[in-house]
């Protein structure tokens, strides 16, 4: 049995590993190669230019604007999403208090789980179309219709460069919350009831119960959530593509690296320069994930 173990494992993995190397690893390697050329994507001719594309990046104001927007999204979106999702998950699991010696969620918690998760069922493009109507700059928009009913002039959510990025972040938070409510709910459900009930018998308030018992036991789940949300913050291309004015406008107020890569590659036919931006995005994402895992690392609490 042992003699046949390794051939079986190799035979089982050879197809998925080959597909992964072919369609994931190889394109990454090719992107590094193209970043060193001036290839335009319309012919086989590509001149090696070394680090010229990366030097150009350092002088590109639009590139730095996109990086700055990623930084703002990275600071705001994960934090707001996790705080709201933790609150809802806590309420859905133990918000109803203790009845019959058993902790329960608020009334209708199963229904609310479905409601919170619903945005995850929608394609990103559909989410963008929905919020195009929510943010419409006249009374036909949901938000401006509500503001108009109380005598407030319409707000140009996506046309005002001081507001547009924050409106985009609100959409990203709305879309993400449902998944993390379910994720945190699953984590809270795995916390031994005896620990929670013992804390309540000792007189712990819900505030203390959350911060002294539930949160420490959910730390590994929070760490994973923060990394996933950070990676999502470095994406955001689809929402910007569908929702923003003039693809990253107004005046590049909502542009992100994915959008600039798209425009450089498929509008300006500068595949080499787009690949250089892709490489920069790859290292930014990798650095964020590594730093987050390092900074948030702590000893696992045994239950």
- Per-residue pLDDT tens for 207-245? 677 777 777 777 888 888 888 888 888 888 888 888 888
pLDDT of residue 1: 45
Least confident among 111-125, 160-174, 191-205, 210-224: 191-205
- Quote the pLDDT of residue 69: 92
CA nearest 167: which of 235, 246, 77? 77
pLDDT at 80: 92
First to last CA, the chain: 36
What per-residue confidence (pLDDT) applies to 196?
65
Grouping H, G, I as helix, E, B as strand and the rest as coil, residue 102 is strand
Q: What are the distances in angstroms from CA 281 to CA 29, 88, 182, 236, 278?
A: 14, 33, 29, 12, 5
Distance CA 248, CA 230 (A): 20
What's the mean pLDDT in 263-292? 87
Three-state DSSP at 244 gives coil
Domains of the chain: 60-295 (1.10.3720.10)
Residue 8 has pLDDT above 50, yes or no: yes
- At 19-32, the pLDDT tens digits run 988 888 888 888 88
Residue 247 burial (C-beta neighbours within 10 Å; 0-12, 13-18, 19+): middle
Closest CA to 196 of 181, 178, 212: 212
Residue with tokens 């503001």: 147
Report the chain's C-alpha Rg in angstroms.
24
Q: Which residue has the higher pLDDT, 142 or 103?
A: 142
């Amino acid at each position: 049995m042992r003699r046949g173990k390794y051939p079986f494992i190799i035979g089982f993995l050879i197809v998925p590993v080959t597909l992964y190397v072919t369609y994931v690893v190889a394109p990454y390697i090719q992107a590094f190669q193209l970043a060193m050329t001036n290839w335009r994507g319309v012919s086989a001719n590509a001149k090696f230019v070394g680090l010229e594309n990366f030097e150009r990046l350092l002088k590109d104001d639009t590139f730095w604007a996109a990086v700055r927007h990623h930084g703002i999204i990275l600071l705001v979106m994960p934090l707001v999403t996790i705080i709201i999702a933790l609150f809802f998950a806590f309420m859905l699991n133990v918000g109803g208090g203790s009845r019959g010696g058993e902790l329960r969620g608020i009334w209708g918690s199963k229904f609310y789980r479905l409601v919170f998760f619903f945005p995850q069922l929608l394609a990103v493009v559909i989410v963008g179309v929905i919020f195009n109507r929510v943010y419409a700059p006249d009374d036909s928009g949901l938000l401006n219709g509500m503001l108009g009913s109380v005598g407030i002039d319409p707000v140009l959510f996506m046309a005002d460069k001081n507001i547009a990025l924050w409106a985009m972040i609100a959409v990203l938070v709305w879309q993400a919350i449902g998944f993390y409510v379910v994720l945190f709910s699953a984590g809270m459900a795995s916390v031994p009831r005896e620990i929670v009930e013992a804390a309540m018998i000792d007189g712990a308030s819900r505030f203390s119960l959350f911060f002294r018992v539930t949160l420490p036991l959910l730390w590994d789940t929070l760490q994973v959530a923060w990394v996933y949300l950070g990676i999502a913050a470095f994406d955001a291309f689809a929402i910007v593509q569908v929702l923003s004015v003039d693809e990253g406008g107004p005046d590049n107020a909502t542009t992100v690296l994915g959008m600039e890569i798209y425009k450089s590659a498929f509008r300006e036919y500068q595949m080499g320069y787009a690949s250089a931006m892709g490489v920069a995005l790859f290292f930014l994402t990798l650095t964020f994930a590594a730093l987050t895992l390092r900074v948030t690392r702590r000893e696992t609490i045994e239950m």
